Structure 1
């Protein structure tokens, strides 16, 4: 769905991301300030959503395409969330989004230029065809990375192991719930963390590592990677790796592109990095919040030996994922499939890699 916002809001809020959180600016219909600009740490998104709700149903909240962490929790809170694309905005700084003021002003002056984001449409509403074209254009380079063992989707099919992976965390509440479920089942997993959350919640990252799970790099702000320059993409990866290393003592060796972006430019940049591009072959579609039973069924219907399963612990309301996890783990163990880390899954099996892009919705907040 590519809904363009046509209604004119009574208030607009621009939300910019920075190195340590978010800045919010709220304007009224005449362009005057409706509140003093505020700053919010990345662990305070629930508070930010509550503050925004206080402006009433006439508020439109605007993010840009380099911020893929807020639309999930804000839409879950019942807010009207819209996306401004780079060709409608002034230039970005080397690190961070355009200013909150610029986002709010764009929404006030040209609301029809914004894409409305919903749970059903996902973060890339209106840009699905562009995403798919980018994946198709990257096929040749992806094949070369595959042959070199630098891009993986699943492990060997003759070993009874699978890898559960959790994106977009850590989360101030659900990370501990997920870790407890894994511990009860003596299962290991891999957590692809975003830098904003790592910096805000180092204790949760430490818990993941101390429990014996693997950590992966999922960028700093979950951007749509084709909208970044190569240097901006490298900055996202480097800062996230450094943030994880400050907590655990080691940088991750795996990078998962947000949304699974695989354009030639993105892949060429990643080819120069010392990390393995890590995709998936089973999409739980938990981002759509279809219910715990449906999430568990989707995983268990598709999983095979060697599968890499995409799940989420952050970046939105992930309570359904946490609720589905015990059933997923029980189902895997009943099938004789051992949940292991990606490092364990690919130990000695890097020949079993991808030949096609992952079968995931491009709009999913992966």
Structure 2
């Protein structure tokens, strides 16, 4: 019996080690990700109560008091993005868009310009959606810097937030991101909308996972996503949520370059 217990304990320990290894691969790096609450407690203000970003970007919402949630969209812009922007404008909801460079930013500069003009946060989702953890430092830098440059040329602003494809990051990705002034933003709720075209299912998955300080991950390039957005917004507003961009969620803290944020 003692031998069996020892063997069982060894198998449990081995299983936990595998889980820890997978968790490390997916979350990023050896340091624990920061939560929005962590960011708000790590303020480094200029002395005037401002974070240094324009007031239009951070807004006046205080997520230390309000029940905040951030709506984010990856891998666009695409053909359905203008309709999404119409919905967000109608419902007075700001969002954060993590954009792909090649075939998206370059193909739809007018949509990127509109995002920025209408008060949304424009972030970086790499140039070609390569997994950054599969690249060397030069490859990571190229994937991120080319999209940085393309967005800046269109909007006049350099992105301060990025989302690594598949949420995969590590110490090397964090180091390059820090050099480029980019914070890494993960998520707390996803509908896996890449695998379904059913708006009702997308809506249900998001509403089931929504929580205070949450970061919702959707994709505005898939057919079922944009039709699901109005009901997601309406229901979460009924539940008392205030929609904010990712920088607003972290304010009065600011996204720290290289850091990983996950609710």
1:195 is matched with 101
1:88 is matched with none
Across the aligned residues of Structure 1 and Structure 2, the Cα RMSD in angstroms comes to: 2.9
Report how far residue 166 of structure 1 moved: 0.5
| CA distance in structure 2 between the partners assigned to 1:344 and 1:276 by the alignment | 14
User: Does residue 144 of structure 2 align to residue 237 of structure 1?
Assistant: yes
Structure 1 segment 50-69 matched on structure 2, within 5 A: none
Most deviating of 266-275 and 158-167: 266-275
Tell whether the 8 Å contact from 2:69 to 2:213 is kept in structure 1 after alignment. yes
Per-residue Cα deviation, 1:138-194 (whole angstroms, up to 9, x for no partner): 233757xx7878xxxxx95752221100000110x2001111111121111011101
User: Does residue 180 of structure 2 align to residue 276 of structure 1?
Assistant: no
User: Does residue 125 of structure 2 align to residue 218 of structure 1?
Assistant: yes
1:176 is matched with 82
The 3 A distance-change label for structure 1 pair 337 and 187 is same
Structure 1 segment 4-15 matched on structure 2, within 5 A: none
Higher strand share: 1
| CA distance in structure 1 between the partners assigned to 2:215 and 2:28 by the alignment | 24
User: Does residue 235 of structure 2 align to residue 331 of structure 1?
Assistant: yes
Which of 28, 31, 40 does residue 140 from structure 1 map onto? 31
Tell whether the 8 Å contact from 2:98 to 2:163 is kept in structure 1 after alignment. yes
Tell whether the 8 Å contact from 2:203 to 2:232 is kept in structure 1 after alignment. yes
- Which protein has greater RCO, CA pairs closer than 8 Å, 6+ apart? 2
Per-residue Cα deviation, 1:26-66 (whole angstroms, up to 9, x for no partner): xxxxxxxxxxxxxxxxxxxxxxxxxxxxxxxxxxxxxxxxx
Which stretches in structure 1 are left out of the alignment for 5+ residues?
Answer: 1-128, 150-154, 360-366
Report how far residue 133 of structure 1 moved: 5.3
Report how far residue 320 of structure 1 moved: 0.4
The 3 A distance-change label for structure 1 pair 245 and 271 is closer
Higher helix share: 2
User: Does residue 199 of structure 2 align to residue 292 of structure 1?
Assistant: yes
1:114 is matched with none
| CA distance in structure 2 between the partners assigned to 1:251 and 1:137 by the alignment | 23
Query: How many residues are paired up?
Result: 218
The 3 A distance-change label for structure 1 pair 289 and 157 is farther
Tell whether the 8 Å contact from 1:311 to 1:321 is kept in structure 2 after alignment. yes
Structure 1 segment 1-366 matched on structure 2, within 5 A: 132=23, 134-135=25-26, 138-140=29-31, 142=33, 158-171=65-78, 173-196=79-102, 197-289=104-196, 291-314=198-221, 318-349=222-253
Which stretches in structure 2 are left out of the alignment for 5+ residues?
Answer: 1-19, 44-61
